[in-house]
Protein backbone atom coordinates (compact mmCIF):
# COMPACT_ATOMS: atom_id res chain seq x y z
CA UNK A 1 0.00 0.00 0.00
CA UNK A 2 2.84 2.38 0.86
CA UNK A 3 4.40 1.70 -2.55
CA UNK A 4 1.17 2.67 -4.34
CA UNK A 5 0.97 5.92 -2.38
CA UNK A 6 4.64 6.73 -3.09
CA UNK A 7 4.20 6.01 -6.81
CA UNK A 8 1.04 8.13 -6.95
CA UNK A 9 2.76 11.04 -5.21
CA UNK A 10 5.75 10.74 -7.57
CA UNK A 11 3.49 10.73 -10.65
CA UNK A 12 1.53 13.74 -9.37
CA UNK A 13 4.78 15.59 -8.61
CA UNK A 14 6.15 14.88 -12.10
CA UNK A 15 2.88 16.06 -13.69
CA UNK A 16 2.88 19.22 -11.55
CA UNK A 17 6.47 20.02 -12.50
CA UNK A 18 5.71 19.36 -16.18
CA UNK A 19 2.67 21.65 -16.12
CA UNK A 20 4.70 24.35 -14.39
CA UNK A 21 7.47 24.15 -17.02
CA UNK A 22 4.94 24.24 -19.85
CA UNK A 23 3.24 27.30 -18.34
CA UNK A 24 6.46 29.34 -18.33
CA UNK A 25 6.56 32.01 -21.04
CA UNK A 26 8.53 31.02 -24.10
CA UNK A 27 11.60 33.02 -24.98
CA UNK A 28 10.85 35.22 -27.95
CA UNK A 29 12.54 34.13 -31.15
CA UNK A 30 15.13 36.61 -32.34
CA UNK A 31 13.92 38.73 -35.20
CA UNK A 32 15.83 38.04 -38.38
CA UNK A 33 16.19 40.95 -40.72
CA UNK A 34 17.80 40.68 -44.09
CA UNK A 35 20.02 43.35 -45.52
CA UNK A 36 18.25 44.59 -48.67
CA UNK A 37 21.66 45.37 -50.23
CA UNK A 38 22.57 41.68 -49.96
CA UNK A 39 19.39 40.76 -51.80
CA UNK A 40 19.92 43.40 -54.47
CA UNK A 41 23.49 42.28 -55.18
CA UNK A 42 22.52 38.60 -55.10
CA UNK A 43 19.79 39.25 -57.68
CA UNK A 44 22.22 41.21 -59.87
CA UNK A 45 24.59 38.23 -59.81
CA UNK A 46 21.83 35.70 -60.46
CA UNK A 47 20.61 37.73 -63.44
CA UNK A 48 23.88 37.01 -65.27
CA UNK A 49 24.09 33.34 -64.29
CA UNK A 50 26.08 33.54 -61.05
CA UNK A 51 23.80 31.48 -58.87
CA UNK A 52 24.19 30.29 -55.27
CA UNK A 53 26.57 33.13 -54.43
CA UNK A 54 27.13 34.14 -50.83
CA UNK A 55 26.72 37.89 -50.39
CA UNK A 56 27.33 39.79 -47.15
CA UNK A 57 27.53 43.58 -47.21
CA UNK A 58 28.72 45.59 -44.21
CA UNK A 59 30.29 49.02 -43.81
CA UNK A 60 33.73 47.38 -43.70
CA UNK A 61 33.39 45.23 -46.79
CA UNK A 62 31.17 43.68 -49.41
CA UNK A 63 31.93 39.95 -49.42
CA UNK A 64 30.97 37.92 -52.45
CA UNK A 65 31.77 34.21 -52.62
CA UNK A 66 30.77 32.41 -55.81
CA UNK A 67 31.39 29.28 -57.82
CA UNK A 68 32.60 30.22 -61.32
CA UNK A 69 30.01 29.05 -63.86
CA UNK A 70 31.27 26.96 -66.75
CA UNK A 71 32.13 28.87 -69.92
CA UNK A 72 32.53 32.17 -68.04
CA UNK A 73 35.74 34.13 -67.77
CA UNK A 74 36.91 34.55 -64.19
CA UNK A 75 38.30 38.02 -64.90
CA UNK A 76 35.10 39.18 -66.62
CA UNK A 77 32.93 37.85 -63.81
CA UNK A 78 35.15 39.51 -61.19
CA UNK A 79 34.95 42.86 -63.00
CA UNK A 80 31.17 42.56 -63.22
CA UNK A 81 30.99 41.75 -59.49
CA UNK A 82 33.27 44.69 -58.63
CA UNK A 83 31.08 47.09 -60.59
CA UNK A 84 27.82 45.74 -59.22
CA UNK A 85 29.09 45.69 -55.63
CA UNK A 86 30.48 49.23 -55.85
CA UNK A 87 27.24 50.51 -57.37
CA UNK A 88 24.96 48.77 -54.88
CA UNK A 89 27.13 49.23 -51.77
CA UNK A 90 29.22 52.39 -52.36
CA UNK A 91 29.64 52.90 -48.60
CA UNK A 92 31.48 49.63 -48.03
CA UNK A 93 35.20 50.23 -47.62
CA UNK A 94 36.33 47.35 -49.79
CA UNK A 95 35.09 44.55 -52.00
CA UNK A 96 36.24 41.00 -51.28
CA UNK A 97 35.55 38.38 -53.94
CA UNK A 98 36.25 34.73 -53.21
CA UNK A 99 36.26 32.63 -56.37
CA UNK A 100 35.56 28.90 -56.34
CA UNK A 101 35.83 26.46 -59.23
CA UNK A 102 33.93 23.19 -58.86
CA UNK A 103 33.28 24.30 -55.26
CA UNK A 104 37.01 24.44 -54.51
CA UNK A 105 38.52 27.78 -53.40
CA UNK A 106 40.74 29.26 -56.12
CA UNK A 107 41.48 32.91 -55.38
CA UNK A 108 40.52 35.97 -53.40
CA UNK A 109 40.30 39.41 -54.98
CA UNK A 110 40.33 42.51 -52.76
CA UNK A 111 39.87 46.05 -54.00
CA UNK A 112 38.85 49.36 -52.48
CA UNK A 113 35.28 50.34 -53.32
CA UNK A 114 36.53 53.87 -53.89
CA UNK A 115 39.03 52.59 -56.50
CA UNK A 116 36.27 50.73 -58.34
CA UNK A 117 34.07 53.83 -58.40
CA UNK A 118 37.02 55.95 -59.55
CA UNK A 119 37.68 53.51 -62.40
CA UNK A 120 33.98 53.42 -63.34
CA UNK A 121 34.01 57.23 -63.49
CA UNK A 122 37.06 56.98 -65.81
CA UNK A 123 39.21 59.01 -63.42
CA UNK A 124 41.94 56.34 -63.50
CA UNK A 125 43.08 54.11 -66.34
CA UNK A 126 42.57 50.39 -66.55
CA UNK A 127 46.29 49.87 -65.98
CA UNK A 128 46.23 52.01 -62.83
CA UNK A 129 43.13 50.22 -61.59
CA UNK A 130 44.70 46.79 -62.11
CA UNK A 131 47.64 47.84 -59.91
CA UNK A 132 45.21 48.52 -57.07
CA UNK A 133 43.58 45.08 -57.18
CA UNK A 134 45.02 42.49 -54.77
CA UNK A 135 44.75 38.88 -55.94
CA UNK A 136 45.69 36.06 -53.58
CA UNK A 137 45.63 32.35 -54.40
CA UNK A 138 43.47 30.16 -52.13
CA UNK A 139 44.85 26.89 -53.49
Classify 36-137 by CATH class.
alpha beta
Q: pLDDT tens for residues 96-106?
A: 999 999 999 99
Mean of all residue pLDDT scores within the chain: 90
**Where are the domains positioned within the chain?**
36-137
Its sign, for the CA torsion 82, 87, 89, 92, is positive
Q: What is the DSSP string of 43-101?
A: HHHHTTT--S-EEEE-SSEEEEEEEPPTT--HHHHHHHHHHHHHHH-TTSSEEEEEEEE
**pLDDT computed for residue 122 by the predictor:** 94
**pLDDT computed for residue 11 by the predictor:** 67
Q: pLDDT tens for residues 86-131?
A: 999 999 999 999 999 999 999 999 999 999 999 999 999 999 999 9
Which pTM does this prediction carry?
0.77
Amino acid sequence: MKKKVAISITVIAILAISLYILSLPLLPEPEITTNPLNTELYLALASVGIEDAVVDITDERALIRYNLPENMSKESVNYYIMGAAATIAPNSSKIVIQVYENFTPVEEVVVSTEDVLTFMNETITHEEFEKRIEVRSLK
